Structure 1
């Protein structure tokens, strides 16, 4: 995730009635539960980000939650990739030298499947590929993990919210068991978060950013979480977020990103955050153990 210009605040209240979910297992609360640790793009300090290998590494480390990013190809396939450009994490410039500027939306899923998405990280990962969303959620399911899915650049991909929900539904991720504690969909774009909530009110949602406290009541109509970068946080802000009730009748939560040191993990835990998104989930988990 990058700190970036946020979408305009959505202020209209939602009229759709939402049903109450069973108690979530991801809230750090007065019962003394430590913040949830979420592996950012998988365990991306130890395996190439957003690949199946990064999911596997998170599972190997015993991390339940993984975060990923979703983009859309030229032929309409959803793929798991952070950037809207293929250059940074694949060998696209070598395989398709005449296809600059190498945007995801300009390549078919078959073309992207040819790319090496691991060698940039290390020779041992030369066989890694850019997974489709379907492949990714199946691997998460194999490990009985939980998914924090980020919709990237929804302005580039009209209708991506409904398409992502369709993939999740087809893969069994919209049943009550998953909705109760195994799935969250987030975005930097408030309209995108609201679209997910309107399409599937049972899905837990998060807004990436740090809205002014005065605007939190509007976000609480469609977002269950406010998820800021750790550098923008304070204990007072976290308390302010927790004071609002989200669309499923529970206090808003805070997942913060991207925390990679023990000191920062303890700092944000002291603020009362509910989750910590990290490239180094083992480091953060050790720092928070017994917190």
Structure 2
């Protein structure tokens, strides 16, 4: 059995449900069993995406947060990729390290502590967990490779955001190279790469045309046909999303993930509007709603 189908089947069994395979990307709106964790292309109901991992409960963009997301029933985990001074790919949301690490204490003279101003060796020294609680003390800033290795056997899917690519010329090629070193993540339907920088996503698509591309934001409806030539998903803020817009995205063969939603009431509204998934800091809340 091909690996992506094995992951699909294992995920379905883990959810305790049968699985429907072969639904084309962007199609299939009939109620069905839970989406398989790692089989985006065969999902037949909305997927549960853990924003920076289970970041309501664990330090964001860390291995601990991703593993907790798996435990809480997420189908995919989301992460943010930036680049160090020596061109290594690390996971960090902010363009500076000060909010989620102890960089001010370790390197007081390196203000403003930009990710791109420190080497990987320097960033490896930082504590990326203590700010979220003593139980996470010593959690490190992972590289992209660390996360791909740690979660390869989970069966989960990955939503990879390229953060601030304008600061890191050529980052798309380096991400593509790293993904090629981890072929399990290129199994059909397991990976989506997204960014607010749509030109960056055109570049990424040129390097890895087989990987699904997501565009963050809410493009005008009349621009969607052109974007559909290289994009597979349109991922807007949930506050901008209407049922008519979702229908327009679907009509062009694309899907949509709404972000970032922690309220059950807002989740229900979005599900009623036909979204294909929700990005949340609380994947357990969404999982309970999807399973109810």
**Same fold, TM-score > 0.5, yes or no:** yes
Q: Return the offset for 1:62.
A: 2.5
The C-alpha deviation readout for 1:185-224, integer Å capped at 9, x for no partner, is: 0000110111111111111010000000011011101100
Q: Give CA deviations for 1:225-250 in whole Å, capped at 9, x if unaligned.
A: 00000001111111111111xxxxxx
How many residue pairs were aligned? 260
Describe the shift of the 1:242–1:27 C-alpha distance in structure 2 as closer, same or farther (beyond 3 A): closer
The equivalent of 1:195 in structure 2 is 203
Is 1:117 matched with 2:125? no
| Paired position in structure 2 for 1:211 | 219
* Structure 1 match to 2:264: 262
1:265 and 1:288 in contact (8 A); partners too: no
Q: CA deviation at 1:288?
A: 2.4
Paired position in structure 1 for 2:248: 240
Shift of 1:25: 8.2
- Give the match for residue 15 of structure 2: none
Q: Does the 8 Å contact 2:152/2:184 carry over to 1? A: no
Deviation string 1:68-89 (CA, Å, 9 cap, x unpaired) is 0000000110001111100000
- 2:166 match: secondary structure: coil
Shift of 1:140: 1.5
**Residue pair 2:90, 2:143 contacting (<8 A) in 1 also:** yes
Deviation at 1:165, TM superposition (A): 1.0
CA distance in 2, matches of 1:30, 1:59: 25
TM-superposed CA distance for 1:28, in Å, is 7.5
Q: Any conservation in 1 of the 2:81–2:162 contact (CA below 8 Å)? A: yes
Residue number in structure 2 paired with 1:77: 88
Counterpart CA distance in 1 for 2:72 and 2:176 is 28
RCO higher in 1 or 2 (8 Å CA, sep ≥ 6)? 1
* Correspondence list, 1:24-173, <5 A: 29-33=28-32, 34-173=45-184
Answer whether contact 1:26 1:36 (CA < 8 A) is retained. no
Q: State the partner residue of 2:275.
A: 273
1:206–1:226 Cα contact (<8 Å) kept:
yes
What is the distance in 2 between the residues matched to 1:25 and 1:43? 28
Q: TM-score, normalised by structure 2?
A: 0.86
* Alpha carbons 2:260, 2:281 under 8 Å: kept: yes
Backbone CA RMSD of aligned residues:
1.5
Task: Give the corresponding residue for 1:286.
Answer: 288
Please say if residues 220 and 252 of structure 1, whose CA atoms lie closer than 8 Å, have aligned partners that are also in contact: yes
Q: Per-residue deviation at 1:24?
A: 5.6
Residue aligned with 1:120, SS: helix
Any stretches of 5+ residues in structure 2 without a counterpart? 1-20, 33-44
Structure 1 gap segments, 5+ residues each: 1-21, 245-250
Cα shift at 1:144: 2.2
Between the aligned partners of 1:181 and 1:98, the Cα distance in structure 2 is: 44
Q: Structure 1 length as normaliser, TM-score?
A: 0.86
Could you report, residue by residue, the CA deviation over 1:147-190 in whole angstroms, capped at 9, with x for unpaired residues? 11000011000111111111011022464xx2x11101000011
> If each structure's helix is expressed as a fraction of its own residues, which one has the higher value?
2
Whether 1:230 aligns to 2:230 is no
